[in-house]
Structure 1
Amino acid sequence: MSAPDQAPILTVTLNPALDLSTAADQVVAEVKLRCEAPRVDPGGGGINISRAIAAMGGTSRPLVALGGHTGARMAQMLAEAGLDPIRLDTAGETRQSVVVTDRDSGEQYRFVMPGPDWPPDLVARSLDEIARHAAPDGFVVLSGSNPPGVPDDYAASLAARLADSGSHLFVDTSGHALSAVASGGHGVALLRMDRHEAETLAGRPLAERRDTALFAASLVKDGAAQAVIVARGGDGNIIATAEGAWHAEAAKVPIVSKVGAGDSFVAGFTLARARGMATPDALGLGAAMASAACMTPATALCRRADVDRLFGQRVVTRL
């Protein structure tokens, strides 16, 4: 896949984490677990998206809230990776997360720490910084959890700040923050969620693809977002817009680790749209990058050769 011109992409990570991943023969209680040397990566939704975009020859700039010794280490890692981070200083220590793979069962155990508490002035300053760096006709991707102290309606506040900027706001969040976006007429450019989150919002099972498409279309009709994507795991991804709905198959690949697959999907979709690709092809690139991420260990994300092959084999159907 060639690397055509693209619109600017700003990724936003309010609650980053230094990701440590390792493996043990078995994960059992009450004994010392002898683990292999850990892999260490800068992580968090927006950071992972920027890393995946870079792996595909695209460009983005991450705006990241960082603090303490861990934050300093992450800033250095991002700079060394060529990502040119915009640092938003926080008072508390940036969190860490740990992924441990049980080699015997193949299961993964994820331990995620809370981030530092945010005072109101930091919330306001973060909105200012995002608005200052958002490019007209560019893309702003708000991805990951909100740290303590950040209000649930943060994405709505950001959408209001960017309303006249010409930037397209993509939101991939969870919990109460997702509910706040989905229930309001904020008109973000894109809202993404997984099947469980969609069923929680809908208050009912979404067993069939048609059920998911109709629910996503209802959010578009209600003005929550111009486009809504629901990830159905092994059953692929569905997008609904005012123009219609499409489904992208999930490629059948050997699963090594699902960590980062969702972020890789958002990276692919965003990069495709920034390169001017049509919605079905953008959905297909997102699906290819998500599947490719499942083929790599721990937090390694996707390999370009895998993505190019899977994208060439994409199956995208209009619903």
Structure 2
Amino acid sequence: MTPILTITLNPALDLSTSTPSVQPGPKLRCSAPRIDPGGGGINVARAIRILGGEALALVALAGATGDRLAQALRAEGVGYSGIDAPGETRESIAVTDESTGKQFRFVLPGTPWPRSDMDRALSRIREITPKGALVVLSGSQPPGVPDRFAAEVQAALPPGARLILDTSGAALTAVVQDPVPGLAVLRMDDAEAEGLAGHPLPDRATSAAFAADLVARGVAETVIIARGAEGSVLADGTGRLFAPAPQVKVISAVGAGDTFVGAHVLALSRGAVREAALAMAVAAAAAACITPATELCRPEDVARFLPQTTPQALPDG
């Protein structure tokens, strides 16, 4: 199996709880919180472990909250390599309104990074990344980290290593406007894709066409666009695919995108063809939606959904 490294520069200690009703004014008495290690790359590594694989998570940790996050990683059996970060590791809070089932997510900012911390992270990436590894850079970037940091990560990788990027906001825009040479996979959701395209992408065909255009422009070898409950499209140099998503009652979508990436990368590391990898990813994302809070997926649910996610080829043009 190809080794996998995930990178999380802006992790969070995730707290999830519920209260009878969310309303302003009175104290809201909450249930006992569930505490999980969070952040894009961490969740990718967690999903890989749940699905029977292994990944090393490179995690920036700071302060007492960073210590608690590291403890949570050990409790889950996720292998990690910690690097010192400035300030204090952030927290995020998810609160479910029991009367409506709606979930409110509060995400705190990270501490700004000076250049010295970025250089230390790049040095560690050079040290611990095996040749030929699949490297996942996922989640938000700390304040102060340049939008083009993915290019610096790509340049730090050893020969044969392949970078998978799942980011958003200015970092995503920067990658599309000024492509990172050699980027293997770029994933985004439909809202992000529409923002980049500058117009609506109302169906799978238009999303696939936009993904194919990004591939043709050299943005990435493979571009994946998630279309929510409908499924996901994939475009690469050999054509376009669409994998339908199982229809499920969503309990919590927290971590579904990271679970998608984890399942996709794990399948690729095992030598799966693109159709099988996409099907596994869509099934895992659906499985993550039916678990509470930040629990991610269950292997039995992924296996149950997999027959419903068979990809179909989409026509070019």
Scaled by the length of structure 2, the TM-score of the pair is 0.97
AA at the equivalent of 2:258: D
AA at the equivalent of 1:96: E
Contact residue 9 and residue 140 of structure 1 kept, 8 A: yes
Provide the rounded CA distance (Å) in 1 between the counterparts of 2:127 and 2:218.
26
Is 1:238–2:233 an aligned residue pair? yes
Equivalent of residue 272 in structure 2, options 243, 263, 277: 277
AA at the equivalent of 2:166: D
User: Which blocks of at least 5 consecutive residues in structure 2 are unaligned?
Assistant: none
Partner of 1:3: none
AA at the equivalent of 2:170: H
Partner of 1:194: 189
Partner of 2:9: 14
Is 1:303–2:303 an aligned residue pair? no
Deviates more, 1:165-174 or 1:72-81: 72-81
Is 1:179–2:173 an aligned residue pair? yes
Provide the rounded CA distance (Å) in 1 between the counterparts of 2:312 and 2:240.
9
Contact residue 142 and residue 171 of structure 1 kept, 8 A: yes
Provide the rounded CA distance (Å) in 2 between the counterparts of 1:33 and 1:282.
43
Alpha-carbon shift at residue 192 of structure 1 (Å): 0.6
Aligned residues: 313
AA at the equivalent of 1:179: T
Is 1:92–2:87 an aligned residue pair? yes
Provide the rounded CA distance (Å) in 1 between the counterparts of 2:120 and 2:213.
34
Alignment of 1:210-225 (within 5 A): 210-225=205-220
Provide the rounded CA distance (Å) in 1 between the counterparts of 2:78 and 2:203.
40
Provide the rounded CA distance (Å) in 2 between the counterparts of 1:207 and 1:249.
16
Alpha-carbon shift at residue 129 of structure 1 (Å): 1.1
Equivalent of residue 78 in structure 1, options 73, 76, 79: 73
Partner of 2:128: 133
Partner of 1:154: 149
User: Which blocks of at least 5 consecutive residues in structure 1 are unaligned?
Assistant: 1-5
Scaled by the length of structure 1, the TM-score of the pair is 0.96
Alpha-carbon shift at residue 131 of structure 1 (Å): 2.2
**Structure 1 vs Structure 2: percent identity of aligned residues?**
51
AA at the equivalent of 1:155: A
Q: What do residues 83-124 of structure 1 show as CA deviations (whole Å, max 9, x unaligned)?
A: 221001012100000000111111110000001111101111
Matched position secondary structure for 2:163 = strand
Contact residue 134 and residue 165 of structure 1 kept, 8 A: no
AA at the equivalent of 2:208: A
AA at the equivalent of 2:244: E
Provide the rounded CA distance (Å) in 2 between the counterparts of 1:134 and 1:283.
25
AA at the equivalent of 1:73: R
Partner of 2:22: 27
Contact residue 4 and residue 54 of structure 2 kept, 8 A: yes
Provide the rounded CA distance (Å) in 2 between the counterparts of 1:312 and 1:249.
10
Alpha-carbon shift at residue 230 of structure 1 (Å): 0.5
Partner of 1:312: 307
Provide the rounded CA distance (Å) in 1 between the counterparts of 2:280 and 2:122.
30
Partner of 2:47: 52
Partner of 1:67: 62
AA at the equivalent of 1:115: G
Alpha-carbon shift at residue 62 of structure 1 (Å): 0.3
Provide the rounded CA distance (Å) in 2 between the counterparts of 1:181 and 1:88.
25
Partner of 1:249: 244
Matched position secondary structure for 1:306 = helix
Alpha-carbon shift at residue 254 of structure 1 (Å): 2.1
Provide the rounded CA distance (Å) in 1 between the counterparts of 2:228 and 2:123.
36
Provide the rounded CA distance (Å) in 2 between the counterparts of 1:25 and 1:76.
30
Equivalent of residue 103 in structure 1, options 90, 98, 102: 98
Contact residue 184 and residue 223 of structure 1 kept, 8 A: no
AA at the equivalent of 1:202: A
Provide the rounded CA distance (Å) in 2 between the counterparts of 1:101 and 1:62.
29
Provide the rounded CA distance (Å) in 1 between the counterparts of 2:215 and 2:152.
19
Alignment of 1:159-170 (within 5 A): 159-162=154-157, 165-170=159-164
AA at the equivalent of 1:62: A
Is 1:268–2:282 an aligned residue pair? no
Deviates more, 1:124-133 or 1:256-265: 124-133
Contact residue 11 and residue 63 of structure 1 kept, 8 A: yes
